[in-house]
Copies of this chain bind each other. A is one copy, B any other.
Amino acid sequence: MFFPSVPVPLSGDRFHVTYHIRTDDGLAGARQAALDAAYEQTVELPGSLVPDGDMQDVVGHIEHIEPLDDGYYEVVISYPVEASGFELTGLLSVVYGNISMQDRIRVIRFDLPPSLLEKFSGPRFGREGLRALVGAPDRPLLGTALKPMGFPADKLAELAYQFALGGLDIVKDDHSLANQPTAPFDRRLEACAAAVRRANEETGGSTLYVPNITGPADQVLKRALLAKELGAGGIEVIAGLVGFDTIRLLAEDPRINLPIFAHPAMLGTYTLSRDHGFALGALYGEVNRIAGADVAICTNYGGRFPTTREDIAQLRELISRPMGHIRPMLPMPGGGMTVERVPEILEFYGNDVILLISGGLFTMGPDLVENCRRFREVVESTAQPTRDA
């Protein structure tokens, strides 16, 4: 009586979210937990209060449930596309908003029908577009992170120059470089973009300088536009600080027209437990991809972070699987990687990867430019034959 049966104009299209649920109570427990989530993520009312009729289709539907191992169950819940409001923020809220506060349910992946996918442009460049920008249609790409925090802009620019001279494709700001007084954003951007341009003129190369434009909510767009104006080759965004929808905004803005590198800082917690959060691939692959990032920076397996090969295997699948008009992305794994590991890493990733080595480039010898050249030689000599070969 509080909630009369009202007509709800629903198209009938639904999107599907795959969750893993942990329970001590067997299949019945898993079904109850799934049902709880189906209500929690939509009407957020006890089932007894939800009227018959259309409102029953506003609630999530349990489409599939099957046991895994050790008390875990795989569940697929569908929601009406209208629940998202056709906005990325609304979509994420339905996928995981309130159940983020439960310690028994994890997002594994989600699948959107055309009527929802068409609301998102996805990556402006994507894998092939980024390859075209650096003139490397097939081989693995090489990247590094500019640091350290505390260094003045001209010293950072000198390092950027050497990285570019050594033939790296991507020189991105370390995520820690924000707007510190030691190297404020605009001074760093100007100096480093100029340094990389100078190196490109000398080598004939196409190294991209990618500044970290993350900052105050009212400064992000300004920093991105300034990056474009001053000749940056891409922009780095920390979605864990400014929200995934900021990536969408930047990707859609024709004035910016630069590839977007999504950094996982602040987001790691989501990917660490089997009992909550997101599978690494769902967060860094699917969410980033729908938002419009071209590159998913991530921690690699076997580095100084607890990322697993399974995490990365899922990421690779989700960032490249067919998704309507949404372009595939490239992964950019890093975090304690060295040139010695390149053959093993390329065997795992194949050619569709941006290898991110930073600290490791400084421990190879006294000449940074030479170290970068050696990195490139190792990559080129171990990469798989090109697709056209």
Enumerate chain A interface residues (CB-CB to B < 8 A): 1-4, 6, 8-9, 36, 41-46, 49-50, 54-55, 58, 82-90, 92-94, 96-103, 145, 147-152, 155, 159, 174-176, 178-182, 214-218, 238, 240-246, 248-249, 264-273, 275-277, 299, 304-307, 335, 358-359, 362-363, 366, 368
State A97–B268 Cα separation when bound (angstroms): 8
Q: 19 interchain pairs (CB within 8 A)?
A: A6-B155, A8-B150, A9-B181, A41-B176, A42-B150, A44-B145, A45-B359, A46-B363, A88-B216, A92-B241, A93-B266, A94-B176, A97-B176, A97-B240, A101-B268, A101-B272, A101-B335, A217-B217, A241-B245
Nearest B residue (CB) for A98: B265
Contact at A149–B42, with CB atoms within 8 Å? yes
Number of copies: 2
Complex partner residue of A100 from B155, B176, B267, CB under 8 angstroms: B267
Contact at A246–B249, with CB atoms within 8 Å? no
Residues of B within 8 A of A159 (CB): 2
Of A36, A89, A249, A304, most B-chain CB atoms within 10 Å: A89
State A240–B362 Cα separation when bound (angstroms): 37
Query: Which 7 A-B pairs give the minimum distances between C-beta atoms?
Result: A101-B268, A58-B150, A100-B268, A43-B148, A97-B265, A90-B178, A85-B179
Residues of B within 8 A of A45 (CB): 147-148, 359, 362
Contact at B93–A150, with CB atoms within 8 Å? no
Contact at B181–A151, with CB atoms within 8 Å? no
State A187–B85 Cα separation when bound (angstroms): 14
Q: A249-B218, A272-B103 are in contact. Are A148 and B241 (CB under 8 A)?
A: no
